[in-house]
Amino acid sequence: MNAIISASDLAHALTSPTPPVLLDIRWQLTAAKAAGEPPFDGRAAYEAGHLPGAVYVDLDRELASAPGTGGRHPLPDLARFGAAMRRAGVSSRTPVVVYDGGQGWAAARAWWLLRWTGHPDVRVLDGGLPAWEGPLETAVPAPAEGDFAPEPGAVGLLDADAAAELARSGVLLDARAGERYRGEVEPIDPVAGHIPGAVSAPTTENVGADGRFLSAEELRERFKGLGVSEGSPVGVYCGSGVSAAHQVLALAVAGIAAELYVGSWSEWSADPDRPVAVGPDPQ
């Protein structure tokens, strides 16, 4: 099953006898508070207009635990995550489609979590809300309670030690912007640089100008150029495990399995005993 779905295919699926549950995961990583501006309000954006029947899911509160030693977006409490999914109408035998405002990062985080906890049929709307050409609604739906019970471990998950090992024995991709990887700037975390051995692979290069994923063939060529060969173990990290989920999604579109380091640089850089590399060279 493809990990993404086009807007036209979604419109058709919504008229089928078993329409997918729709989850709206609008979220933005923003430094607006430091600039004196209000932070992005995903719920307000949702209430202003969303796909018909979609339920809003809060990334910071329902798809992650509170920031701490595990990073800025650690894994969520599974009971809370499961309750949020059931509230949204998610059941184990019902297809799910997740979308966000177009960047794809937040939707990919929800996609990865559902896959990691065992949901067999979840896809991301390619291009997000901007790709949707149908009507929007402002009414907040009240779907029937779902029965999804998360069972973690269905796909690969890395901790810091496993990420360090994979950087030596396989391919560890750093999904952040190149200047953060090189250590030239670090607007969020306490230390600049990257995990030694990791390869710079900005998530933004997985999509075209319209925000939709490159073709599977183009993505395979991109990852091949980054050192991913057939059978090689692959892992991904970013700042806090959100944009890296989008890279795992891009790899899935290309037919390549990859593991996610959820703690990512926000966890790694908080430990003074962890080594840090700077510059364009992985080491």
Active-site option among 238, 242, 256, 270: 238
Helix or strand (DSSP H, E) at 47: helix 42-48
- With the C-alpha atoms ordered 148, 57, 55, 131, is the resulting torsion angle positive or negative? negative
Token pair recorded at residue 94: 């019902």
| Active-site residue flag, 238 | yes
178: tokens are 């190149």
Cα 125 to its chain centre, rounded Å, is 13
Q: In which element (H, E) is residue 173 found?
A: strand 171-174
- The whole-angstrom separation of Cα 265 and Cα 242 is 11
Buried b / exposed e over 98-115, threshold 16 CB at 10 Å, is: bbbbbbbbbbbbbbbbbb
- DSSP tag of 55: E
Distances (CA, A) of 8 to 98, 124, 215, 247: 15, 13, 17, 24
How many CB atoms are closer than 10 A to CB 256? 20
Catalytic residue numbers, as ranges? 238
